[in-house]
């Protein structure tokens, strides 16, 4: 699959529910379990949520949204975290890993909040994306090395697999690039003597997909598929022209990958400091069934007007391709205005108070049908 980032593609509308399963979860609202609904991890038993503000609160709900445990270990101590960058759930080991980029460490806790150990980031690394790789390891993306911010280390690789026990590198994944390219736009205003830095692209560098890992880096023309069964990389998608030659740079990153459609976000490395805005991000889709590429407007069929659905949040695991929180007051307002179709979301909205916790919308891969031989269909 090759995508030309300079080409104008035809526009097409897709309905989310036509190719994705949607699950709505009502988070229990109590005095103790009052949260902003920023989902960190979802397992078979638990949902882990934090607040957008840096207060250190971690909320554990069961899979039906009932509050189970509230934890806070924010602090300056060796067994504490300063900032919650992300939380990775490992239900098999009954642990969670609180990634703290600011302190360059990941704090391992049990599901009661008891301290287990500290996993230090490797020297000069900042892991901005971390996922549960297997029982013994995490897979990580180094923001500084991958995004070309630290130009002194242009030859370093950004993707590593590290031990959950001590943070030692189990494997470095070798991807191909000529020189580091950054999504950050840097500007020095001579008139005001002000220095500005702006990130011009939304990027999910690691995406779990069908038991494999899709890896993308701003500096590479290839998006890779990493298969843990043989520890090998395969080309998943190629962009043209090369990111190394185009000026200004145009980035193309995967956002939502399904059995039929691959969604990509296309963004140009420009920034208007007068309006303080980036150029509009374009959503491109590759249709595996027809081999078409088109610019897409994605809509949510649970609204009568089919409200536009923007893919913003990172994928959570091989089951959940993305998620969204819907503020209770907005859902209540939509219900009163008659904007919701008959169905689960409307039934939920009818029971809500405007001050309740957000409703969580999980964007899940459709269950595959099994043949008589027990093999899943619709595989690549």
Within 10 A of 123 (CB to CB), how many other CB atoms are there?
Answer: 6
Task: Give me the count of residues in the chain.
Answer: 380
Whole-number Å distance between alpha carbons of 234 and 223:
9
Which helix (H) or strand (E) segment is 144 a member of? helix 143-146
Burial (0-12, 13-18, 19+ Cβ within 10 Å), 380:
exposed
Query: Given a cut of 90, is residue 43 above it in pLDDT?
Result: yes
Selection from 143, 167, 165, 168 nearest residue 156 by Cα: 143
Whole-number Å distance between alpha carbons of 184 and 166:
31
The predicted pLDDT at position 184 comes to: 87
What is the DSSP code (8-state) at residue 152?
G
pLDDT tens string 115-148: 999 999 987 888 999 999 999 999 999 987 777 7
Which helix (H) or strand (E) segment is 347 a member of? helix 344-351
Domain ranges of the chain: 2-364
- The pair of three-digit structure tokens given for residue 116, joined into one six-digit string: 């287990």
pLDDT tens string 235-293: 999 999 999 999 999 999 999 999 999 999 999 998 887 787 888 899 999 999 999 99
The percentage of the chain sitting over the pLDDT mark of 70, rounded to a whole number, equals 95
The predicted pLDDT at position 277 comes to: 83
When the pLDDT of each residue in the chain is averaged and rounded to a whole number, the result is: 92
Whole-number Å distance between alpha carbons of 336 and 349:
9
> Strand 2-4 and strand 232-240: pairing?
parallel
- The pair of three-digit structure tokens given for residue 190, joined into one six-digit string: 């001579």
pLDDT tier at 295 (50, 70, 90 boundaries)?
very high
Q: Which residue's entry shows tokens 């008589």?
A: 372
> In angstroms, what CA-CA distances link 164 with 7, 89, 133, 161, 326?
44, 12, 10, 10, 33
Least confident residue range of 210-214, 290-294, 372-376: 372-376
| CATH 1.10.3470 describes domain 2-364 | no
């Amino acid at each position: 699959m090759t995508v030309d980032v300079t080409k104008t593609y035809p526009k097409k509308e897709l309905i989310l529910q036509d190719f994705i399963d949607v699950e709505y979860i009502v988070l229990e609202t109590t005095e103790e379990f009052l949260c902003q609904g920023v989902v960190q991890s979802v397992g078979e038993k638990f949902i882990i949520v934090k607040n957008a503000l840096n207060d250190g609160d971690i909320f554990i709900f069961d899979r039906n949204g009932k509050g189970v445990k509230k934890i806070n270990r924010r602090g300056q101590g060796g067994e504490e975290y300063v900032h919650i960058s992300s939380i990775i759930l490992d239900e098999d080991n009954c642990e969670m890993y609180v990634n703290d980029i600011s302190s360059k460490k990941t704090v391992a806790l049990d599901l009661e909040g008891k301290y287990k150990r500290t996993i230090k980031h490797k020297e000069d690394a900042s892991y901005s994306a971390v996922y549960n790789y297997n029982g013994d390891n995490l897979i990580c993306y180094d923001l500084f090395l991958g995004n070309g911010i630290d130009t002194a280390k242009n030859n370093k690789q950004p993707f590593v697999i590290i031990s959950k026990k001590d943070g030692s590198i189990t494997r470095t994944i070798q991807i191909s690039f000529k020189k580091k390219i950054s999504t950050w736009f840097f500007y020095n205003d001579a008139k005001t003597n002000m220095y500005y830095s702006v990130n011009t692209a939304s990027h999910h560098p690691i995406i779990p997909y069908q038991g494999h890992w899709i890896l993308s880096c701003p500096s590479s023309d290839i998006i890779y598929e990493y298969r843990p069964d043989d520890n090998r990389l395969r080309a998943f998608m190629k962009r043209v022209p090369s990111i190394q030659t185009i000026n200004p740079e145009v980035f193309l990153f995967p956002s939502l990958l399904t059995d039929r459609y691959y969604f990509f976000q296309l963004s140009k490395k420009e920034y208007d400091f007068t309006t303080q805005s980036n150029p509009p991000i374009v959503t491109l889709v590759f249709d595996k069934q027809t081999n078409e590429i088109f610019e897409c407007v994605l809509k949510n069929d649970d609204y009568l007007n089919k409200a536009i659905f923007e893919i913003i949040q990172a994928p959570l695991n091989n089951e959940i391709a993305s998620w969204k929180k819907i503020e209770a007051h907005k859902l209540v307002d939509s219900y009163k205005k008659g904007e919701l179709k008959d169905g689960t979301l409307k039934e939920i909205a009818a029971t809500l108070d405007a001050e309740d916790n957000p409703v969580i919308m999980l964007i899940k891969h459709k269950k595959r049908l099994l043949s008589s031989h027990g093999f899943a269909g619709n595989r690549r």
